[in-house]
Amino acid sequence: MEEALQAPLARITTLKIGGNADCLCHPQSAAELIDLVARLKEAGTPWYVVGGGSNLLISSEGFRGTVIRTTQMTNIRLEQPNLLEAEAGARLPHLARHAAQNGLAGLEFAVGIPGTVGGAVIMNAGAHGSSISAIFDSAKILDSATGEVAELRSEDMAFQYRRCALDPARHIVLSAKFKMPSDVPEEIEKRTKHNEDYRWKTQPLGFPNAGSTFKNPLPDKAAGFLLDQSGVKDLKVGNAAVSSIHANFIVNLGGASSHEVIVLMKRMQDMVRQKFKLDLVPEWKTMGTFTDDEMSVWQQKAAEKKQ
Ligand SMILES: Cc1cc2nc3c(=O)[nH]c(=O)nc-3n(C[C@H](O)[C@H](O)[C@H](O)COP(=O)(O)OP(=O)(O)OC[C@H]3O[C@@H](n4cnc5c(N)ncnc54)[C@H](O)[C@@H]3O)c2cc1C
């Protein structure tokens, strides 16, 4: 297993922000990952599991502990004619291509989502009217509290909009199976291409970003629309800016800090609250050291649950 000390984390996120981790490990298999977590637990070392780092704000102060990155666990196999199994670190666009080549439909939405299978299951990633939950069959999950691995099915996962019942601080996705109907490969390719073209037109893919910053507060209220209408598109704090192409995307213009991003997020929340009396909850997860004031941006969660 590759291990690096004092590893810079900015490189492992799509936003390109983050200080150093005490240690960064790349397990090559589920067995190596399980063994690593057991050793860290015994030593009392804090850990954090990361996939593509595409939905993550990492503190510029870094992370005191071990980061476990799954991106070398990438095996994909067709278990049955309509059942595709992938290890946690397999990239969604790669999985979507693999499925399409085998005439399996249902992952066309995922071709532009730069995350891994593990991150996509935890986040119930979705787009274009579909999400992981629509094709999810089961997943092998390590419960770090007990050291046991269980195969969880859809009914155990309680999938909701951009979340599920698992807690990434405790449960680690080792692999997942997806049940997918057959279709003509050319038709799947057509839908995939349509989704890809739409992204190139509507997302600022030229700058480091982490996708949508905030969740949609209500099914019929897109965060991007509310932000746009609130006039956030000119906002900039240091080297963090709201994208001029998509109001729910924050872009790193080069060397932005996590603090700059959070101050910008607060301003975006304030402007939407003022105009629409709605609280925006961040979609992103955080890793590392943040102050209580910085974390208050995430505390809108309480308001979200009450809805
Ligand atoms: C350009 C761009 C476009 C995007 N478009 C979309 C979109 O259309 N729809 C959408 O839903 N998202 C989108 N995203 C966000 C992101 O790609 C998804 O949320 C993705 O599923 C995150 O996966 P990841 O592997 O990068 O997770 P990470 O960012 O690495 O981690 C996110 C969370 O998942 C946890 N996690 C990761 N792997 C595991 C594992 N194996 N076991 C347990 N927990 C794990 C982490 O601890 C963390 O809490 C976009 C991002 C970008 C940059």
- Specify the number of domains making up the chain: 3
Cα-to-centroid distance, 199 and ligand 1 (Å)? 17
Identify whether 194 is part of a domain. Answer: no
Cα-to-centroid distance, 52 and ligand 1 (Å)? 7
**CB-CB contact of 107 with 178 (8 Å):** yes
Boundary residue ending a domain (69, 98, 124):
69
Print the domain residue range for 290.
204-306
- CATH number of 100's domain: 3.30.465.10
For ligand 1, whether the C-beta of 116 sits within 6 Å is: yes
> What pLDDT does 238 receive?
98
Terminal Cα-to-Cα distance of the chain (whole angstroms)? 45
* Candidate of 123, 164, 245 to mutate for ligand 1, largest count of ligand atoms within 8 Å of Cβ: 123
Cα-to-centroid distance, 120 and ligand 1 (Å)? 5
- CATH number of 34's domain: 3.30.43.10
Exposure b/e, 287-299, CB count within 10 A at least 16 = b: bbebeeebeebbe
Q: Pick the closest to residue 132 from 78, 96, 182 (CA basis).
A: 96
For residues 234 and 136, membership in a common domain is answered with no
> What pLDDT does 89 receive?
98
Which residue's CA is the closest to the ligand 1 atom numbered 3?
211
> What pLDDT does 27 receive?
98
φ, ψ dihedrals at 271, nearest 5° = -65, -35
> What pLDDT does 307 receive?
40
Identify whether 196 is part of a domain. Answer: no
Q: What is the pLDDT of residues 24-48, one digit of tens each?
A: 999 999 999 999 999 999 999 999 9
Residues 6+ apart with CB under 8 A from 132: 110, 120, 121, 123, 124, 125, 126, 159
Low-confidence ranges of the chain (pLDDT < 70): 301-307
> What pLDDT does 121 receive?
97
How far is it, in rounded angstroms, from Cα 35 to Cα 254? Answer: 38
